[in-house]
Amino acid sequence: MKSVEAKMSASRREREIDYIMTINAVEAYSVLVKPIHCESLWFFLQSKGLRGMVENNAISGDDPHNDIQIAKDVSFEKFNSLVGEWKKIYMNS
């Protein structure tokens, strides 16, 4: 029974973060995230050695988002892979 509940929970969590996508912007890599996910993802990226900043309320209104901006010290593929790694950890937590 726990296995079924765990799969359902992971599925809900996957839907909760399916909006998160990486962006290869001109000056930095970027990922727009809801405030509820921002701190966890930001700390994870920092723990992997990435540098950058968070712009709070980069998108405001009814569904605000923060913008995590990462220096282009690593490849975009590496950045994208790390965000994917965080998503897997989040879904299974």
Report pLDDT for 27.
Answer: 95
Rounded-to-integer distance, Cα 76 and Cα 23, Å: 9
For the chain, the structural domain boundaries read 2-91
Report pLDDT for 73.
Answer: 96
The total of other beta-carbon atoms located within 10 Å of residue 79's CB is 25
Rounded-to-integer distance, Cα 19 and Cα 12, Å: 13
Q: Output the CATH code of domain 2-91.
A: 3.30.70
Count the helix, strand and coil residues of the chain and give each as a percent rounded to the nearest 5: 50, 25, 30
Q: Determine contact, residues 63/73, Cβ cutoff 8 Å.
A: no
pTM of this prediction?
Answer: 0.86
Among residues 76, 80, 54, 79, the alpha carbon closest in space to that of 67 is found at 54
Report pLDDT for 10.
Answer: 67
Tens-binned pLDDT, residue by residue, of the chain (93 aa):
456 565 556 678 788 899 999 999 999 999 999 999 999 999 999 999 999 999 999 999 999 999 999 999 999 999 999 999 999 999 888
Report pLDDT for 44.
Answer: 98
Report pLDDT for 93.
Answer: 85
Rounded-to-integer distance, Cα 35 and Cα 63, Å: 10
Report pLDDT for 16.
Answer: 87
